[in-house]
Amino acid sequence: MKNAKLKIQRDFPMDDAERYIQQRMARDPAFKKEFEEGYDEFMIGAMIASARGKAGLTQEQLARKVHTTKSAICRWERQASNIRVGNLQRIAKALGLHLHVKLA
């Protein structure tokens, strides 16, 4: 998802690891690029897991609704680096949601 930015609202303070990451990104453009690319993939998976949890479904229940395996759901929730848009659409539909993609 090159150039796609995902914003997550949070209600807790920045920890030491986050401070380190911000400082390292400020001084190392290559690290920043790799971190941001990996972060976007991680956040897609985190959003899937969060939406599934809010829907009150287990990975196995979601897998049945999406016509895939529990291991596929688990893999996508850990890191959605190779997930297809069609799979995201099926997940959103199974959760009663809509998929919105924004390129920035």
Q: Which domains does the chain have, with CATH numbers?
A: 16-94 (1.10.260.40)
Give the pLDDT of residue 1.
42
What angle (nearest 5°) sits at the alpha carbon of residue 57, between those of residues 52 and 60?
105
- At 2, the pLDDT band (50, 70, 90 cuts) reads very low
- Angular region, 56: left φ>0, alpha ψ -120 to 50, beta rest: left
Work out the average pLDDT over 42-59. 92
Determine which of 10-14, 20-24, 47-51, 76-80 has the lowest per-residue pLDDT on average. Answer: 10-14
Work out the average pLDDT over 40-64. 92
Give the CA distances from residue 52 to residues 19, 25, 30, 46, 71, in Å, rounded to whole numbers and listed in that order: 30, 32, 34, 10, 15
Count of CB atoms situated within 10 Å of the CB of 41: 19
Q: Which residue has the higher pLDDT, 16 or 76?
A: 76
